[in-house]
């Protein structure tokens, strides 16, 4: 199933007004292939059960191994192979035609493949034929999809929406880039001053993340607005939403059924942007009502698909298969093509590649379109590098890590390279920026119309939010650990909660209770220790293109460790499997999540997230098969899926079994780990088990909040994995047994591993086992060991 298909897939009972082009729901087709809907209630099912309950052809790999009864703890659960590729049901052919376009051959590689293929000296070779076709399109042989508006006049919102529709019509990334680039070029040609606005609407942002502009609008308010705007009841809207899994579609449908008396003024990109900004700004008493009426006003001016994308934008999910990274590439192509066009020429492949590499590298240092776009317009995409450099005040996108399933995988990947292992701390990412008042350099403003930066101390989050107001303690202590001669720096760290009494790190759940806004130094209750692991900028110069080995050295020379305030992340440089294993174990004992593994030398160790964002590896115990907490839980409810999960269950409510009270206590929802085929299958097998209401022996809060859309007979059991067990205000599992009067236990990062067809509902993991697993955890066990009896301690 591809994203393009999903976006246009509608619910089972939902129909659109005539003239709306929408793909046939795949589910109906897949369901026809699926045969058996026999409930899984048989106790004596042995090895062949999996086949009995699915439409899969016989396949030796699908034999579920029997499992020791009654021991659903760590690592004992039977492993169930995932469906092998040849099991997959035939996929629907995608209809992705637009103006005579022939799509490129499947399997053909693109120039991006070439660029990413990883050699140290990467000079892309010529792409194969299909790629060249695409490049020609990028270079502008095809006329714009939306006819030109008057130059200098506002960009019609309809033009953007036309592009969005084209994007929905294909799953191919190169085609998406082509459409996007073509439209951006049109904007550059006709209304260049609006390019920034357009790009912002494409990535669905109103301002830089660190400016803290919040929409304050979610599903609830949107449903209200759509209902009011179209004169339909909230219940009707909810019903539609359940059926088509997308509020944008609901809005479009509702508007199309509505008689419009006055033809509204056509929306422009600028008007929409301003409208959204105004909605975001609304605050205070009666604010929600004012937000709703502002949304209504925008909606009233929206025609057809405009309503769909307006609402999707407000919901924060455009579902275009187009996000930051693809826009970045499209933008580079648009600029170079536009620049060449002005000279009556076209860019060749090398130029396109150069432009892309340039923009990626610029964005890597200074991820702010607000600054980059005007700079490119002024200096050209080839020269812009000199003008846009990493600087304090603009948060860098952080390097991320790829999960690895075994230490041996790490060794394979980094074979013959020098690498380092660092503790992976369980806190909050903190990118610390600093410019000393004594600094001789003045940095450009971080935003359009902002002040130049002379003196600054800020903390940014993993997602570039400004956390300075949350961590006044970090900022106030900086003079303890920054050498006085330091002029400026950007430092990548993890802020971790500190238990000073026991001299340990606090669990994340504890750190989370810190206040967030405008915290005064005296009000800090949870102390924090900064664990620094990388240096991105020092004394006026970016160091992201130095090797990690050099960056680390610089970092150690520049800062002073102060116990419990500022330390360097603990690390070990070894390629020895056994030593790494020991270090991993040690990290867990020290309240960490596992290890980060990073290359030490060469290009691959640079800090360039837009070039290769997942160049680091992470290894945690629960990634390793046969390690980590595994539970067998009963499916007692489900929620309707949205977006690409429309018309199947998108997530499920799971429970454990309390042997004493003979009741099923809710543990968690689960929504990841399923293949699309499995989601289809589970809809088939669970739908017949739906019941009107919760069983009296289901223990789950009564409120509307966590109530599933449907309840089930307690028959189906699944194996589920989690990183940790946590105290829960919301779930009932082992309530009271974990040493905290009313709180139950839930799972951190739960994911689906496989069905346990050999188990019936009351064979599920029991409440007491869950309590035991919770109490056994290092952080819980060690805490009371150190502190003495401490069972009434409340988080």
Partner DNA sequence: AATGCCTGCCC
Partner DNA sequence: ATTCTGC
Partner DNA sequence: GCAGAATGGGCAGGCATT
Structure tokens at 668: 């968690």
Cβ 115 to DNA, closest distance in Å?
10
Q: Smallest gap, in angstroms, from Cβ of residue 704 to DNA?
A: 5
Residues numbered 640 to 669 that lie near DNA (CB under 7 A) are 641-645, 650-651, 668-669
Question: In this chain, which of 22, 63, 94, 478 binds DNA, going by CB under 7 A?
Answer: 94
Task: Choose, by CB under 7 A, the member of 64, 491, 543, 677 that binds DNA.
Answer: 677
Residue-wise DSSP of 201-222: HHTT-SS-GGG-------HHHH
Q: Residue 539 to residues 58, 478, 491, 619: CA-CA distances in angstroms?
A: 65, 16, 12, 33
Residue ranges in 53-128 assigned as alpha helix (H)? 111-116
Backbone angles phi, psi at 133, to 5 degrees: -55, -45
Residue 399 has phi, psi (to 5 degrees) of -65, 140
**Among 418, 748, 768, 784, contact with DNA (rule: CB under 7 A):** 748
Catalytic residue among 137, 397, 424, 715: 424
Task: Mention every residue, 6+ apart, whose C-beta is less than 8 A from residue 332.
Answer: 352, 355, 356, 358, 359, 360, 381
> Does 212 participate in binding DNA (rule CB under 7 A)?
yes
With respect to DNA, which residue has the nearer C-beta, 292 or 538? 292
407 binds DNA (CB under 7 A): no
Tell which one of 25, 144, 739, 750 touches DNA (CB under 7 A): 750
Beginning with the edge strand found earlier in the chain, give each strand of the sheet holding 571-572 in spatial order. 401-403, 616-620, 592-599, 419-425, 571-572
Instruction: For the CB of residue 749, give the shortest distance to DNA in the complex, in Å.
Output: 4
| Cα distance between residue 519 and residue 440, in whole Å | 31
If the CB atoms of residues 36 and 463 are measured against DNA, the closer one turns out to be: 463
Query: CA distances (Å), 413 to each of 598, 607, 624, 785, in order?
Result: 11, 18, 16, 40
Tell me the window of 151-159, 212-220, 236-244, 584-592 that interacts with DNA (CB under 7 A). Answer: 212-220
Nearest to 281 by CA among 222, 227, 224, 212: 212
Question: Closest CB to DNA among 368 and 669?
Answer: 669
Rounded least distance, CB 272 to DNA, Å: 17
Q: What is the x/- site pattern for DNA, positions 7-26, by CB under 7 A?
A: x-------------------
Binder of DNA out of 322, 493, 530, 716 (CB under 7 A)? 322
Judged by DSSP in three states, 41 sits in coil
Q: How far is the CB of 209 from DNA (least distance, A)?
A: 7
Is 320 a binding residue for DNA by CB under 7 A? The answer is yes
Between residues 372 and 668, which has the closer beta carbon with respect to DNA? 668
- Of the ranges 44-52, 62-70, 380-388, 724-732, which one interacts with DNA (CB under 7 A)? 724-732
Coil/strand/helix, residue 670: strand
Q: Which residues pair with 424 in a beta bridge?
A: 594
Which residues from 108-147 bind DNA, rule CB under 7 A? Answer: 110, 116
Secondary structure of residue 690 in the 3-state scheme: strand
Asked if residue 267 binds DNA (CB under 7 A), the reply is no
Element spanning 509, H or E: helix 508-511
* CB nearer to DNA: pick between 189 and 545: 545
Q: Which of 575, 644, 603 is nearest to 419 (CA)?
A: 575
At residue 307's C-alpha, the angle toward residues 305 and 312, to 5°, is 95
Residues 532-561 that bind DNA (CB under 7 A): none
Report how far residue 488's alpha carbon sits from residue 434's, in angstroms, rounded to the nearest whole number.
5
Helices (H), 541-686: 548-558, 577-589, 676-686
- Cβ–Cβ under 8 Å, residues 757 and 64: yes
Residue choice 21, 148, 193, 219 for contact with DNA (CB under 7 A): 219
Could you tell me how far CA 616 lies from the centroid of its own chain?
A: 17
217 binds DNA (CB under 7 A): yes
**Residues 140-179 contacting DNA, CB under 7 A:** 171-174
433 CB-contact burial (10 Å; exposed 0-12 / middle 13-18 / buried 19+): buried
Regarding 75 and contact with DNA (CB under 7 A), the answer is no
Q: Which of 319, 377, 700, 759 binds DNA (CB under 7 A)?
A: 319
Which contiguous run of DSSP H or E holds residue 594?
Answer: strand 592-599
Number of residues binding to DNA, judged by CB under 7 A: 108
Residues 592-651 within binding reach of DNA (CB under 7 A):
612-615, 618, 620, 623, 639, 641-645, 650-651
Residue found under tokens 């925008």:
298
In the bound state with DNA, the residue whose beta carbon lies nearer, of 4 and 144, is 4
Pick from 283, 483, 553, 741 the residue near DNA by CB under 7 A.
283
Among 18, 151, 231, 286, binds DNA (CB under 7 A): 286
Q: CA–CA separation, 9 vs 479, rounded Å?
A: 57
CA dist 586 → 86, 287, 433, 528, 779 (Å)? 42, 51, 31, 21, 13
Residue 737 binding DNA, by CB under 7 A: no
Residue nearer to DNA on the CB measure, 215 or 536? 215
Q: Is residue 186 at the binding interface for DNA, with CB under 7 A as the rule? A: no
* Spatial separation of the C-alpha atoms in residues 282 and 294, rounded to whole Å: 9
At its nearest, how many Å lie between DNA and the CB of residue 702?
10
Binding mask 345-384 for DNA (x = CB under 7 A): ----------------------------------------
Looking at beta carbons only, is 189 or 707 nearer to DNA?
A: 707
DSSP state of 301: T
Kindly state the smallest distance separating residue 442's Cβ from DNA, in Å: 28
274 part of the active site: no
Among 420, 726, 757, 769, binds DNA (CB under 7 A): 726
Quick check: 736 binds DNA (CB under 7 A)?
A: no
Interface map 416-445 toward DNA (x if CB under 7 A): ----------xxxx----------------
Which residue, 93 or 265, has its beta carbon nearer to DNA?
93
Q: What binding mask, one character per residue, do residues 30-59 give for DNA by CB under 7 A, x or -?
A: ------------------------------
Give min distance, CB of 420 to DNA, in A: 18
| Alpha-carbon distances of 20 from 147, 249, 254, rounded to whole Å | 21, 11, 13
Within 8 A by CB and 6+ apart from 735, the residues are 665, 699, 742, 743, 744
- CB nearer DNA, residue 455 or residue 513: 513
| Closest distance of CB 425 from DNA, Å | 9
* Residue of 318, 595, 619, 764 that binds DNA (CB under 7 A): 318
Q: CA 550 to CA 393: how far, in whole Å?
A: 23
User: Distance (Å, rounded) from C-alpha 355 to C-alpha 357?
Assistant: 6
Give Cα separations from 474 to 220, 260, 494, 567 (angstroms): 37, 57, 11, 12
- Whole-number minimum distance, CB 683 to DNA, in Å? 13
Shortest Cβ 748–DNA spacing (Å): 6
Sign of torsion, CA 589 590 593 594? negative
Stretch that binds DNA, among 383-391, 448-456, 538-546, 749-757 (CB under 7 A): 749-757
Q: Which CB sits closer to DNA, 284 or 449? A: 284
Shortest distance (Å) from residue 8 CB to DNA: 10
Alpha helices in 231-348 (DSSP H): 234-244, 247-256, 269-281, 287-300, 305-315, 324-342
User: Which stretch in 151-159, 364-372, 383-391, 727-735 sits in contact with DNA by CB under 7 A?
Assistant: 727-735
Kindly state whether residue 474 participates in binding DNA, applying the rule CB under 7 A: no
Q: How far is the CB of 671 from DNA (least distance, A)?
A: 3
29 binds DNA per the rule CB under 7 A: no
Q: Which residues are catalytic?
A: 424
């Amino acid at each position: 199933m591809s994203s393009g298909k999903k976006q246009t897939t509608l619910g089972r009972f939902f129909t659109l007004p005539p003239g709306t082009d929408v793909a046939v729901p795949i589910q109906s087709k897949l369901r026809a292939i699926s045969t058996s809907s026999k409930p899984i209630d048989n106790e004596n099912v042995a090895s062949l059960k999996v086949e009995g309950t699915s439409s899969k052809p016989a396949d030796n790999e699908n034999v579920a191994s029997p499992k020791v009864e009654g021991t659903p703890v760590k690592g004992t659960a039977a492993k169930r192979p995932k469906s092998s590729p040849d099991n997959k049901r035939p996929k629907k052919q995608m209809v992705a035609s637009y103006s005579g376009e022939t799509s490129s051959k499947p399997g053909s590689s693109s120039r991006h493949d070439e660029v990413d293929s990883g050699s140290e000296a990467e000079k892309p070779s010529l792409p194969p034929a299909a790629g060249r076709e695409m490049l020609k399109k990028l270079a502008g042989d095809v006329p714009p999809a939306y006819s030109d508006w008057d130059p200098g006049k506002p960009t019609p919102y309809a033009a953007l929406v036309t592009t969005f529709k084209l994007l929905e019509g294909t799953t191919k990334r190169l085609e998406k880039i082509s459409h996007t680039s073509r439209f951006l070029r049109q904007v550059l040609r006709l209304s260049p001053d609006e390019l920034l606005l357009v790009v912002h609407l494409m990535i669905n942002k109103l301002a830089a993340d660190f400016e803290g502009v919040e929409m304050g609008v979610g599903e609830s308010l949107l449903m209200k607005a759509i209902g009011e705007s179209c004169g339909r009841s909230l219940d009707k809207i909810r019903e539609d939403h359940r059926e088509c899994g997308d509020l944008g579609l609901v809005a479009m449908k509702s508007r199309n059924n509505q008689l419009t008396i006055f033809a509204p003024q056509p929306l422009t990109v600028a008007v929409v942007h301003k409208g959204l900004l105004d909605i975001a700004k609304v605050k205070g008493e009666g604010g929600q009502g004012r937000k709703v009426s502002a949304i209504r006003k925008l909606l009233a001016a929206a025609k057809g698909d405009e309503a769909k994308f307006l609402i999707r934008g407000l919901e924060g999910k455009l579902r275009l298969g187009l996000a930051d990274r693809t826009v970045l590439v499209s933008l580079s192509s648009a600029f170079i093509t536009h620049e060449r066009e002005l000279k009556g020429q076209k860019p060749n492949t090398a130029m396109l590649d150069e432009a892309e590499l340039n923009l990626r590298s610029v964005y890597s240092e200074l991820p702010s379109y607000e600054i980059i776009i005007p700079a490119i317009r002024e200096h050209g995409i080839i020269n812009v590098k000199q003008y846009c450099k990493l600087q304090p005040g603009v948060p860098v996108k952080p390097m991320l890590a790829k999960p690895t399933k075994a230490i041996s995988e790490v060794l394979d990947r980094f074979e013959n390279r020098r690498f380092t292992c660092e503790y992976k701390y369980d806190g909050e990412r903190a990118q610390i920026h600093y410019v000393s008042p004594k600094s001789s350099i003045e940095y450009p403003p971080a935003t359009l119309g902002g002040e130049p930066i002379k003196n600054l101390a800020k903390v940014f989050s993993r997602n570039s939010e400004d956390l300075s107001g949350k961590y006044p303690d970090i900022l106030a202590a900086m003079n303890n650990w920054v050498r006085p001669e330091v002029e400026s720096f950007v430092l990548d760290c993890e802020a971790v909660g500190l238990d000073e009494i026991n001299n340990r790190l606090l669990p994340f759940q504890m750190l989370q209770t810190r206040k967030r806004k405008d915290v005064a130094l005296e009000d800090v209750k949870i102390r924090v220790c900064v664990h620094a692991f990388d240096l991105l900028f020092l004394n006026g110069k970016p160091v992201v293109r130095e090797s990690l080995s050099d960056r680390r050295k610089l970092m150690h020379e520049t800062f002073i460790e102060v116990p419990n305030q500022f330390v360097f992340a603990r690390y070990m440089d070894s390629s020895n499997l056994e030593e790494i294993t020991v270090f991993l174990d040690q990290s867990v004992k020290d309240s960490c999540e596992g290890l980060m593994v990073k290359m030490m030398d060469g290009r691959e160790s640079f800090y360039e997230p837009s070039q290769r964002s997942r160049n680091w590896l992470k290894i945690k115990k629960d990634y390793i098969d046969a390690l980590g907490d595994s539970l067998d839980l009963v499916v007692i409810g489900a929620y309707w899926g949205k977006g690409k999960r429309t018309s199947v269950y998108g997530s499920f409510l799971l429970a454990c079994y309390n042997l004493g009270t003979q009741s099923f206590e809710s543990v968690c929802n689960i929504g990841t780990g399923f293949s699309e085929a499995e989601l289809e299958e589970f809809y088939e097998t669970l739908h017949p088990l739906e019941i009107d209401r919760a069983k009296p022996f289901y223990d789950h809060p009564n409120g509307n909040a966590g109530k599933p859309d449907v309840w089930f007979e307690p028959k189906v059991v699944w194996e589920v994995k989690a990183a940790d067990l946590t105290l829960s205000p919301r779930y009932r599992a082992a309530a009271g047994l974990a040493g905290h009067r009313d709180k139950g236990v839930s799972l951190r990062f739960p994911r689906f591993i496989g069905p346990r067809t050999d188990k019936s509902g009351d064979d599920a993991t029991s409440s007491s086992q869950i309590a035991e697993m919770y109490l056994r955890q290092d952080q819980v066990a060690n805490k009371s060991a150190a502190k003495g009896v401490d069972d009434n301690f409340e988080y």
